Amino acid sequence: MSNDERYPVGSVRTTFRIVEALEQRGTAGVTELAEEIGLSKSSVHKHLTTLESLDYVVRDEGTYRLGFRFLGVGNRVRNRSELVSIAKPAIENLSRTAGSVTNLMVAEHGYGVYAYRAGEQFETSSYLPPVGGRVYLHATAGGKAILSQFSDEEVETVLDRRGLPSLTEKTITDEQALRRELRSVRDRGLAFERGEHLPSVQCVAAPVTASGRPVGAISVSGSIDQMSGKKLEEDLAGLVVSTANAIEVTLLRR
């Protein structure tokens, strides 16, 4: 076992390597997984047997796949979050008035995670990161909205961990440029995303804070031909900010 300081229980790391390989492939066999992970067949088999007994993996005629139990855990995590339950009706409203996809993003481990989304039916053309999916904070409107409320040191920690990878030709990859952008976001209370994450996706977001700390961000996204110019920069921007404010007020009154 790789005895990294960060993974004191090596076999847990192994198991989640297998889980993540299964997550990517959808369905896979023992040999296939063993080769991918670089483990012996027998070890992989032991892990799969254990995971199956725990109901996290389903054995289907000599092949394996992840079970729906993960869906249960994931939904429980989400439903326990006070922020999500408060933001849910708010962004559903926002989605209806804006006629666009709206998201709640939270930050975790230096990534942004889409915790909830409404109005998926408005976006049929372009591909959006799935709910629960992790994205880079520096390349998304919601991510920049959250980062803008972080201290300089906290931003530094995120950059050290995740870097500034380029996702499209418009992604901000220079740290000084990002710092400038974050100052502007902080001043306006608004973040825009213009093809920095996905080439044809535009986005506007506002941070949600509780007692001075950022707890998430509200965003509206759409394809580049759906929203631009005044609609994006004024109409949608105003809606996003007022929704974020409404959520903040409700968070206080809980």
For residue 243, what are the CA distances in angstroms to 52, 84, 92, 149, 211? 43, 13, 10, 17, 17
At residue 119, the 3 state secondary structure works out as coil
Q: Which is nearer to a second copy, 91 or 190 (CB)?
A: 91
Pick one of 33, 34, 78, 246: the residue that binds a second copy (CB under 8 A).
78
φ, ψ (nearest 5 deg) of residue 27: -145, 145
Q: Which is nearer to a second copy, 43 or 168 (CB)?
A: 43
State the minimum distance, in angstroms, from the CB of residue 227 to a second copy: 25
Q: Does 77 bind a second copy (CB under 8 A)?
A: yes
Contact call for residues 109 and 100 (beta carbons, < 8 A):
no
C-alpha of 31 from chain center: 32
Taking the C-alpha atoms of residue 127 and residue 197, their distance in angstroms, rounded to an integer, is 11
State the minimum distance, in angstroms, from the CB of residue 80 to a second copy: 5
Report what 29 binds from DNA, a second copy, none; CB cut-off 5-8 Å by kind: DNA
Report what 211 binds from DNA, a second copy, none; CB cut-off 5-8 Å by kind: none
Report what 250 binds from a second copy, DNA, none; CB cut-off 5-8 Å by kind: none
Taking the C-alpha atoms of residue 107 and residue 111, their distance in angstroms, rounded to an integer, is 6
Size of the site for a second copy (CB under 8 A): 50
State the minimum distance, in angstroms, from the CB of residue 78 to DNA: 23
Taking the C-alpha atoms of residue 222 and residue 224, their distance in angstroms, rounded to an integer, is 6
Q: Which is nearer to DNA, 40 or 166 (CB)?
A: 40
Report what 174 binds from DNA, a second copy, none; CB cut-off 5-8 Å by kind: none
Helix (H) or strand (E) holding 221: strand 213-223
Ordered DSSP codes for 12-47: HHHHHHHHHHHHHHSSB-HHHHHHHHT--HHHHHHH
Ordered DSSP codes for 170-230: TS---HHHHHHHHHHHHHHT-EEEESSSSTTEEEEEEEEEETTEEEEEEEEEEETTTS-HH
State the minimum distance, in angstroms, from the CB of residue 109 to DNA: 15
Q: Does 146 bind a second copy (CB under 8 A)?
A: no
Q: Does 192 bind a second copy (CB under 8 A)?
A: no
- The DSSP secondary-structure symbol of 138 reads G
From 2-10, 148-156, 171-179, 243-251, span contacting a second copy (CB under 8 A): 2-10
- Neighbouring CB atoms inside 10 A of 127's CB total 9
State the minimum distance, in angstroms, from the CB of residue 241 to a second copy: 24
Contact call for residues 67 and 183 (beta carbons, < 8 A):
no
**Which residues of this protein are in contact with DNA, per CB under 7 A?**
1-3, 8-11, 14, 29-32, 38-43, 45-49, 59, 62-63
Q: Which is nearer to DNA, 32 or 233 (CB)?
A: 32
Q: Does 38 bind a second copy (CB under 8 A)?
A: no
80-109 residues in contact with a second copy (CB under 8 A) are 80, 106, 108-109
